[in-house]
């Protein structure tokens, strides 16, 4: 089962403001990051074991343009310039999934805007670790 980390709750950090004016979010709100290139959102997650985890990031982008971001894990670039495409409205939420390398224990996962437009609005990050790999031939 995945563990959910809400963007509006510590230990997550939001370079902007926690807001709740666009409905459909999980928890108590979402991170509306400042519309600048350095306005990152960071999650701190706990993994039970080292390996490859799957993260799902829920976001809304009611603007007309992509809001690309770099995904950094423990400070290292894991996915560069990934698209967070328009969702049609700030109340329309979508999920993006990535495979990321994690240590056992505490890890930081940072979304860094790749352009001066800043990030999409960020709702949460779900972390899935420890699912058994598929067995070949079964």
By CB under 5 A, name the binding residues for Ca ion: 32
Q: Which C-beta is closer to ligand GCU: that of 42 or that of 121?
A: 121
Question: Minimum distance between the CB of residue 63 and ligand GCU, rounded to whole angstroms?
Answer: 5
| Residue 5 contact, options Ca ion, ligand GCU, none, Cβ 5-8 Å cut-off depending on partner type | none
Of 101, 96, 105, 107, nearest in space to 42 by CA: 107
Q: Is residue 27 left, alpha or beta, with left meaning phi > 0 and alpha meaning psi from -120 to 50?
A: left
Please, which residues have CB within 8 angstroms of residue 74's CB and are 6 or more apart in sequence? 103, 107, 108
Q: Which C-beta is closer to Ca ion: that of 32 or that of 129?
A: 32
Q: Which C-beta is closer to Ca ion: that of 61 or that of 107?
A: 61
Question: Minimum distance between the CB of residue 85 and ligand GCU, rounded to whole angstroms?
Answer: 14
Question: Minimum distance between the CB of residue 90 and ligand GCU, rounded to whole angstroms?
Answer: 5
Sign of CA dihedral 95, 3, 42, 47: negative
């Amino acid at each position: 089962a995945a563990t959910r980390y809400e963007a509006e709750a510590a230990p997550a950090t939001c370079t902007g403001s926690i807001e709740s004016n666009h409905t459909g979010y999980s928890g108590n709100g979402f991170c509306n990051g400042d519309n600048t290139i350095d306005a990152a959102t960071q999650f701190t997650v706990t993994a039970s074991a080292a390996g490859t985890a799957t993260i799902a990031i829920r976001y809304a982008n009611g603007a007309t343009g992509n809001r690309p971001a770099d995904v950094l894990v423990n400070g290292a670039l894991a996915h560069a310039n990934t698209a967070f495409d328009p969702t049609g409205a700030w109340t329309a939420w979508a999920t993006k999934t990535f495979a990321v390398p994690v240590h056992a224990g505490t890890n930081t996962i940072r979304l860094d805007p790749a352009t001066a437009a800043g990030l999409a609005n960020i709702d949460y990050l779900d972390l899935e670790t420890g699912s058994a790999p598929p067995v070949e031939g079964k």
